[in-house]
Amino acid sequence: MIAVGERINGMFLDVKKAIKKQDAGSIADLARRQLAAGATYLDINVGTAAADQEATMRWLVETVQAAVDAPITLDSQKLPVLQAGLDAHDGKRPVMLNSCSADPDALDTYIPLAKKHDASLITLTKDKTGVPQDVDTRILHAATIVQKAVEHDYAIDKLFIDPIILPIRVDQKQPDFLLQVMQQVRLISDPPPHLMMGLSNLSQGGAERHLINRTFLVMAIAAGLDSAIVDVFDTELMNAAITAEMLMNHHIYSDSFLKAARA
């Protein structure tokens, strides 16, 4: 699984403080510890910590790049903030943009931008009318996304489709719907786009968050999910993901499969 470490996000109090104090050491530490815990990419999101989000994105990207060699995910709903992150990107590591909607206008802006910077792109199955609550509309959005990628000659293996998991408190039918969407999206093209999920949203505001998150992650991996934005410090979650991928025959079983996957 491509595990995008979620912790460098200004919504977390420690990161918010580090941004305010321009405390590079704390950010570097979070970057290193997430990599040690199994992160493939490091998500960078300024959150609501700073008045100048673009400058903050630049500072975070530079700080992370100075600390580690890892791939980064630039995470903002604002295009200028993503652009600021791309400007600061050193070009020496893979970069991913998080995220773009399935509106044709948005896709016509974001896909060429991603292509120009050789960046991967997370695309959400929603449009101006909002997040669909059903299976079919999500599939239609996914089809629009893939079609736009083809139009722009954008490599499908750089495309990450996120079908948007809603909190279990909001609608309990959604997890099953998401699994159906994932299974169908894997059939949309050959090779298929990646499937991405912002996992923690599932258990937002509820109890037993770790248990719920890792249980659904296992189901999603069986349905074809190959990447997720997660709390990589949750060891049980990471073990569940490794075990799920081993059971799906994505890496070889041995008695030390957990250790081997982490190596």
| 28 near its own copies, judged by CB under 8 A | no
Query: Distance of alpha carbon 54 from its chain centroid, rounded?
Result: 20
| 258 near its own copies, judged by CB under 8 A | yes
Residues 163-192 that bind its own copies (CB under 8 A): 168-169, 172-173, 175-176, 179
| 260 near its own copies, judged by CB under 8 A | no
* Residue placing its CB nearer to its own copies in the complex, 49 or 217: 217
38: left (phi over 0), alpha (psi -120 to 50) or beta: left
Of 81-89, 149-157, 185-193, 254-262, the segment contacting its own copies by CB under 8 A is: 254-262
- Full DSSP string of the chain: -EEEE--SBTTSHHHHHHHHHT-HHHHHHHHHHHHHTT-SEEEEB-TTS-S-HHHHHHHHHHHHHHH----EEEE-SSHHHHHHHHHH--SSS-EEEEEE-S-HHHHHHHHHHHHHTT-EEEEES-BTTB--SSHHHHHHHHHHHHHHHHHTT--GGGEEEE--PPPTTT-TTHHHHHHHHHHHHTTSSSSPPEE--BGGGGGTTSSSHHHHHHHHHHHHHHTT--EEEE-TT-HHHHHHHHHHHHHTTSS---TTHHHHHH-
Structure-block tokens of residue 211: 């248990």
| 195 near its own copies, judged by CB under 8 A | no
Interface residue with its own copies among 155, 208, 235, 262 (CB under 8 A) is 208
| 249 near its own copies, judged by CB under 8 A | yes
| 105 near its own copies, judged by CB under 8 A | no
Of 65-73, 101-109, 110-118, 240-248, the segment contacting its own copies by CB under 8 A is: 240-248
Interface residue with its own copies among 42, 60, 197, 212 (CB under 8 A) is 212
Nearest approach, Cβ of 133 to its own copies (angstroms)? 14
Residues 110-169 that bind its own copies (CB under 8 A): 168-169
Of 4-12, 36-44, 59-67, 238-246, the segment contacting its own copies by CB under 8 A is: 238-246
Nearest approach, Cβ of 199 to its own copies (angstroms)? 12
Interface residues with its own copies (CB under 8 A)? Answer: 168-169, 172-173, 175-176, 179, 206-208, 211-212, 215-216, 218-219, 222-223, 239-240, 243-244, 246-249, 252-253, 255-258
